[in-house]
Chain A
């Protein structure tokens, strides 16, 4: 009985309306992210079944391979589009053909198959994002398996009608095709596998969002605690009644939080970089030049651009936290008030890790873009892939949001609101009791 009483009291204290609200919001966020991802997975599956092929050999055998690609069996149907190339500039060709990948069967393919050699195929793919989902359909494995299956089936049906397979033919069947991969990034292309590029850049694609997320949370928590603690301890009243301007108090708070956040950023970047290099498997030095050529590694200037968005984001989160800190009525509500920032940071964080936000449906994309932090999560990727319009648009939007938030924060801090406004989540307000404190004229 005593234990049950104690347990009931502890549960009541832990399962507050704030906790339940957090849980509900998290469920909603994860559901929305799940819906967005399922849409992208469906698109990716559709992309895999859409094959763009250029048959430069144009023999009866290659035509039969293409036919098998369309109906590989087991009820699978692929949509094969045959195209003609107008130039060797693959970036230009992919854009002209409006496709993300292209299989080229070069001249002499049939001859190589007939002479028992591994037949060469060219696979060209476009890389547009570093997110996990955006890269599931760009791998050469998919192309290779499709064409290998098609060649195997074609060889099989021919040989079966002729009789017993020889040992040489069996070994040819094990690996009938070699694939030369070309990856297009922006308007540049290089003879390298998209899978290798992705694995090399994935670390960078992962750790920038992690740093952005941690920075937003740390800096917000810092300023929110600083303001709410000063307000609750009444040290703010002491400070604001002293001969110092309110703007000086406000700017010193924000600047110190920004400096600490910048120190965090440098330490995190250093630490994460070390951790990520430790995680990179094998010798990737031979691809470093290719990565640089394709613009998938950031130059100093580009790091500065990412830094500008990061700093703008920190200032936005600081000004929002300042307003939220001023709303704190007690220590508990101070902790709950961080929730809107957490939500606004976690949505673009998760989405940018998992999928290419640019490929979301227009409505979802609009909602995600409306979160000012999104643009910082996408900053390095936008710069890498040359989406500078999105980068600059995002930065302009962030600056507008910053001006609005900052103006509101200044207004709160320089007016009575810093002392009079408060928000207590989950506590019922007794209007009659509040009103009785004041006399009516």
Chain B
């Protein structure tokens, strides 16, 4: 599958069939451009996580393909993993490690050499803003602190594509705002993001383009403004409602 040079991710007809006739995700097609924040929105069980997991090479696609930074998830999963970071929904970290120890451990996996690993850790420490608490065990961290640490981990290696599943789930307003701001800043610096969320108001604020997914089908793709205009609504929630109502799959 050929890609346009400006696209960091190209997804073409991606499907995941768990058993005959039962699809978690079906014929999903979209692309993410360099420096763009693209969000998949939809309710729980819509197929967002399955799609994201396929792109992150965790699940094997049964049909279609996705190309990340020029590498196919089907034929070059190792190279895809070198170009992405993935932050799962409600992910934890190793509780017995310190925050700094965790960043060092992950940097050791992503970096090619010690100097690069040290640079990653330095960046990670700056991003997470945990200060002295970085030397405390993760087990003593609050949920917000863990999420910031994980986010720093996902960003410190400056991947071509950062994939975040429900990046602010379970966080208080202040922490959620900080994280959204951080994502926007990094995108402005050229990093691409693929987000998934069922919080449509959050996505409307943070993303450049959105894809509406329901029952495994990607029903609509566009900027929040385009979609609101097309469906003549005030916000993405109303867009989602109209898209779902006007499609037979739901």
Contacts and interface: CB of A to CB of B under 8 A. Distances in A.
A and B part of one assembly:
yes
Given A238-B86, A438-B23, A420 B91 contact: no
B78 interface: yes
B21 A419 contact: no
30 contacts: A233-B93, A234-B88, A234-B89, A234-B92, A237-B88, A237-B91, A238-B87, A238-B88, A238-B91, A238-B106, A238-B153, A239-B109, A240-B58, A241-B57, A241-B81, A243-B78, A243-B82, A243-B110, A244-B81, A244-B109, A416-B59, A419-B58, A419-B59, A420-B18, A438-B22, A438-B216, A439-B215, A440-B22, A441-B23, A441-B26
Contacts of A237: 53, 56, 58, 86, 88, 91
Given A234-B88, A241-B85, 14 more contacts: A235-B91, A235-B93, A237-B86, A237-B91, A238-B91, A238-B106, A241-B56, A241-B86, A242-B85, A243-B81, A243-B82, A416-B59, A419-B59, A439-B23
B109 A437 contact: no
A415 B110 CA distance: 22
Contacts of B8: none
Interface of B: 18, 21-24, 26, 45, 47, 53, 56-60, 78, 81-82, 84-94, 106, 109-110, 150, 153, 163, 215-217, 249
Interface string A342-357: 0000000000000000
Contacts, number: 81
Given A241-B85, A242-B110, A439-B217, A235 B21 contact: no
B127 to A, nearest CB: 16
B139 to A, nearest CB: 11
Given A243-B78, A438-B216, A233 B92 contact: yes
Interface residues of A, number: 23
Nearest to B16: A416
Top 10 closest pairs, chain A to chain B, by CB: A233-B92, A439-B215, A241-B86, A437-B45, A234-B91, A234-B88, A241-B56, A439-B216, A243-B81, A237-B88
A244 to B, nearest CB: 5
Nearest to B87: A238
Contacts of B18: 420, 438
